[in-house]
Chains A and B, each alone.
Chain A
């Protein structure tokens, strides 16, 4: 199905199932421990052996020699895979560093060997016996030091730099100017389920049970790396314990399980131990961001500039932190610039709302600071600079960009291109009202509750909506059961449920009559889970397949497909009504289709909007910040399942609090690695940190996004949160911190005296 004109009324608009707060249909499997996660699939292939990954002990250099003799001789050991004996390996487009390192080492904890043994304990014990002699090389591990050597690099979905009007002149001429530099640290995805895979070969065919967000990408990447045909690789990933972008691509577990199984001649399972994940896989790279805003005395932005520096391994990409600044606020004179430095830290890559999340950590503090300088309420300042057309005009990116497939397609934004929907002001207004924003005193440090200095802060939320082809297969059987198959993944987001709701709505059956099967590369190729595109695109693909199935059913009954009504388990047309279960014979009816998007996203900018409001208490003595309450108001198209959408948003808000207050991969700048590589030392918020969260979804349908009229929401929820926390801390204490995370040591010196 081609989607190239705005959606009109369709069966989804009935909203009998879609739009209702619905429990996860896979919930009972998860709460009873029967949802099969990759590492636990003991039953899928007999005689599984265990692989344990050895990570490099140095960040950069060369392996001079490896002594495997002791490890090989250890009890239970079946074999050891290294770059030396693995055979020739290719490299996919989507990972920068090799998934099996050696002799060259590109980063700390890069996998250099897999020890395979009969038991996990034997493999782990033998892995300790692998002796490696390294030649260490000097590396670059500090972004601030490398900043001056950074060069322009294009970001996902746009060029490195953009310029509109005369930024420099307008900024100099602006009656009110603001210029500040912010930093965000390296952050870890820190998902609950570690990367894990079980590999089994049958001849030259590989089956991999794994934990992966993007099935089709990863089939291709794994085939390329192994040098085998894509048809010979099957990936199965029905349940995923969190990804956040860290499982968009294959990682060392997948490749090493495949190589290990080949070497051992039997199935091999591999999980990345928690202490290995932080340096072995990918992370959100640190940024340095300079923001300049010029405005008239009454608060109209005349110049806005945002420059960002980040680092990565050679051939890596920059963090696209300037992305939101190109789209969020009006202003005739604009400048954005992206610079990338070479660093020898582990690979930087996409993490929940790449670009916008760290970019808005800076931009939305800057907006708060500028509002104060203008003596305007931060909400009013933002409303004053709202725009309904895209304000920036980036140059078109080169057409041969190999990374165009990651995330948003390259695009040309012409000034005047309207947003399909933009209820940003409505989010601000409703949020301010519901949160009690009027009770905030603009003067910082005014409200005290016992030990606590209390303050409020807010920020805009913004994240683009991306659309990409998505296919599904639907089958109706003679019990009236509809089965949906697509390689879409559910990374904890609730894909199973919204896909089931879509099929139920389309076919006029209750949700209990729908079976959803996901995450298998033998199913039609979906959009997958990433960039908050999964919900809208994958359900639209299911919609397309169901339209085909409805036509087939109507045809079989000799109904006109135009006036056939699918409801209450029946098909009705005029006076005739037939139970769905009676329509088909023993083999059922199958339909398959894909949603394919035309150029609507070129005519309209599709984005999601929101407003975050946060109240914090800061311990006047210790500087500990504790969030007291949070509110997010989101305008993100039709909300398919308000219950799971809320879960997504509160999860994102929680992650935003982590970014604001505690998450930072600490770099040892001598040895070049992230030191705090476990959950005891890389802290993420726990329940005690988040006492009260509220989410409001504005009524919105976006006919430009898809027949579902939905958009993404899971990444919108994190964008702006950290800045809202930072702004609340400022309001509470009068201390402005521009370097995340805002830990107590950055506040102490400027807090009032104690006692």
Chain B
């Protein structure tokens, strides 16, 4: 681990200002991803700003009937909240399918959105990785790519976003609320928050230098049957090969977001309009233009079959 300086933030605005001032700063909350990456010298922040003491750990109703989830609400607490369980079952289920109890106790709402990829080439500093070291190449292309992206990827990067929670947030049309270094506030729709890799896979989201996530808001409940199906090689504590988050209304309409297929939670509103026509039609839209490798070609049929199973379950 490289030596770093440390400060405990006093307020969201001060944290953001401090981060912008200090070069190479990172916020730390749960630390479940960042600290691991620092130990491997993949993340090498010069300055660490601890935001754990900020009062961002409440879940409060919003004026339009939704919920405002503080950035520091732990995954365990979020999944157990009665309002979440009642009105946003997809989110609770996605959270509980991720990691394990110990990690969920530490991991925060904002941190979960900011997880780095689990691509093994990103994790091995001997190997090329455009995300870790821009311009060095991509080891996964032509290498071991069983877990990698099939849509929205580029010749520079085929990594996936590992979060389950983010898939549910995408399906629920969450909005990321931030504080900028100048103290101003910004709302970023989740669809615009995570970026595709393009030629700059090291740039992963819309946050500007120093910008701090303060909360994630959920619009008012949309009802429907909410199912999160995570497909994986072992039953627990494994990242998704693919996952399907679906909200299905009684009339067969609804929305669907996928995990494990792209550099971000994958949802296309144009695919949602096909929901009542069934899994095949939705998948055709969602995965149009998919590019697979020898190792991950199975994800194409897997998405369609899993979605079909989810829709059958939703019908009851």
Contacts and interface: CB of A to CB of B under 8 A. Distances in A.
A and B physically associate: yes
Interface stretch (B19-27, B141-149, B167-175, B261-269): B141-149
9 contacts: A124-B1, A125-B1, A661-B234, A671-B143, A676-B144, A683-B234, A686-B237, A741-B233, A749-B301
Given A621-B305, A686-B236, A668 B143 contact: yes
A696 interface: no
A754 B302 CA distance: 11
B28 to A, nearest CB: 17
A498 B237 CA distance: 35
Interface in A613-628: 619-624, 626
A69 interface: no
Given A451-B309, A754-B305, 9 more contacts: A121-B1, A124-B1, A623-B302, A661-B233, A675-B144, A676-B120, A688-B234, A689-B236, A755-B278
Interface stretch (B46-54, B123-131, B180-188, B195-203): B123-131
Q: Is the interface of A mostly helix, strand, loop or mixed?
A: loop
Contact of A680 (B39, B232, B239): B239
Contacts of B41: 124-125, 128
A282 B146 CA distance: 24
Contacts of A624: 231-233
B284 interface: no
Nearest to B299: A745
A659 to B, nearest CB: 13
Contacts of B235: 626, 686, 688-689
A585 interface: no
A743 interface: yes
Contact of A683 (B142, B233, B278): B233
A619 B1 CA distance: 43
Closest 6 CB pairs of A and B: A621-B309, A745-B298, A57-B126, A688-B236, A688-B235, A754-B308
Contact of A275 (B124, B233, B305): B124
Interface string A87-117: 0000000000000000000000000000000
B303 to A, nearest CB: 10
A346 B120 CA distance: 18
A671 B121 CA distance: 12
Given A275-B123, A675-B144, A748-B302, A622 B233 contact: no
B3 to A, nearest CB: 7
B57 to A, nearest CB: 27
B311 interface: yes
A371 interface: no
Contact of A677 (B39, B120, B147): B120
A57 B125 CA distance: 9
A481 to B, nearest CB: 41
B234 A689 contact: yes
B118 interface: yes
Nearest to A132: B126
A744 B296 CA distance: 12
B124 A125 contact: no
Interface residues of B, number: 42
Interface in A662-676: 662, 666-668, 670-671, 675-676
A662 B233 contact: yes
Nearest to B147: A681
A683 B146 contact: no
Nearest to A668: B143
Given A689-B235, A744-B302, A622 B120 contact: no
Nearest to A121: B1
A439 interface: no
Interface string B11-55: 000000000000000000000000000011100000000000000
A128 B2 CA distance: 9
B231 A622 contact: yes
A670 B142 contact: yes
A621 B278 CA distance: 15
B139 interface: yes
A426 interface: no
B120 A675 contact: yes
B249 interface: no
Nearest to A683: B234
A612 B3 CA distance: 53
A418 interface: no
Contacts of B229: 622
Nearest to B41: A128
B73 interface: no
A363 to B, nearest CB: 25
A626 B232 CA distance: 11
Interface in A734-755: 741, 743-745, 748-749, 751, 754-755
Interface in B130-164: 139, 142-144, 146-147
Interface string B298-316: 1001100110110110000
Given A668-B144, A675-B120, A676-B120, A755 B309 contact: yes
Contacts of B306: 621-622
Interface in B216-251: 229, 231-239, 241
A442 to B, nearest CB: 27
A687 interface: yes
